[in-house]
Copies of this chain bind each other. A is one copy, B any other.
Amino acid sequence: MGGDFAPAHEVAGALEALRQRKNEFEVIFVGREKEILAEIQRHNAEGLAYSVVNADEVITMNDPPTAALKQKKNSSLAVGMQLHKEGKAEAFASVGNTGAVLSASTLILGRVKGVSRPTIAAFFPSETGVCLVVDAGTNVDCRAQHLYEFGVMGSIYVSRVFKYDSPKVGLLNVGEEKSKGTEVVQEAYGLLERSNLNFIGNVEGRDILKGKAQVVVCDGFVGNVVLKFGESVPGFLKSKLKQYASGNLIRTLLIGAARGSLRASLRDMDYEEFGGIPVLGVNGVSLIGHGSSSPKAIKNMVIKAAEVAQSQLNTYIEEAMATALRPAAVHTPAQ
């Protein structure tokens, strides 16, 4: 109920996901039952595997995340996450208040054993496939240990959910040399280098779209800035093409004729195709989408949530945290 177009886009997208995947999974709509049922009636939902659980309250985009969770115990977010916690749902997805979804994921589901800080990851397109940037905005201040764990969780997500064998992990930095960057980043380099990840060293801003790594590790400040910058590129290009064509018939016709090609090529830069970004390191499956998600973006997110649930992601993360080189052990004690 927290999305900008709730529950219209949520209902339309989730029903389409069920239709497209032929009820491979079930969808539980959580929120104001009457509004949701009214919305469902606007679609042909016969035979689709959905149900509705009522929740009267709504956490809005402007609510302070943690306070709202405490006050609105019957919000669609709290009720939905609780269903997941209790095993009545195997995954949770929302396009509501990002901070509140993150808080609910951490507070209600709890952390995976061995994880210091849950994180949000984001997908970027790349010339060679997908690139997962971790952290995408959760932890603006990070220690080296956190960056190391982001690399571990990101690597497992990409290998389990996206089926990449031994994904390349890069550390986002201002240059390739080991000596570059802040002290924290330099220390993280050492931890990643000694891990059993497929660590390829530092990568730069340009390497994200080039696809040099499938997992790019950074703090949430940098990750958030580059994510939002990337998302603004298609809109910028559309605006520039429009300016260029303005008032010129031939240019307008040429651009119009090539529009399909352009749109198809730009699609990879469009967050709608990725359908939500995962909260990593929590005891469950929690995906977050943009507040303004289209039905298509929500459809993709619902399908992705089902895939993540099937991947046994957290079993692998817990195991990696327990058996991987523990960074605490790599510090040489001062003499």
Contacts and interface: CB of A to CB of B under 8 A. Distances in A.
Interface of A: 125-127, 137, 140-141, 172, 174, 180-183, 185, 204-210, 218, 220-222, 224-233, 235-237, 239-241, 243-245, 251, 254-255, 257-258, 260-262, 264-266, 268-269
A222 B172 CA distance: 10
A89 B245 CA distance: 43
Contact of A209 (B208, B229, B258, B260): B229
What 8 A-B pairs have minimum CB-CB distances, sorted nearest first? A205-B228, A258-B258, A205-B229, A206-B232, A240-B265, A205-B225, A209-B236, A174-B224
A210 B232 contact: yes
A121 to B, nearest CB: 15
Contacts of A224: 174, 204-205
A244 B263 CA distance: 10
A218 B209 CA distance: 22
A236 B261 contact: no
In this complex, the member of A174, A182, A237 whose beta carbon has the largest number of chain B beta carbons within 10 angstroms is A174
Contact of A241 (B204, B221, B239, B261): B261
A187 to B, nearest CB: 13
A69 B233 CA distance: 39
A229 B232 contact: no
Nearest to A233: B233
State the main secondary structure of chain A at its contact with B. Answer: helix
Contacts of A182: 140-141, 221
Contact of A265 (B204, B225, B228, B237): B237
B228 A244 contact: no
A227 B109 CA distance: 38
A224 B185 CA distance: 14
29 contacts: A125-B240, A140-B182, A141-B182, A174-B221, A182-B221, A204-B228, A205-B225, A205-B226, A205-B227, A205-B228, A205-B230, A207-B232, A208-B229, A209-B229, A209-B232, A209-B233, A209-B236, A210-B232, A222-B225, A225-B226, A226-B229, A229-B230, A233-B233, A237-B265, A240-B266, A241-B262, A243-B265, A244-B261, A258-B262
Contacts of A239: 127
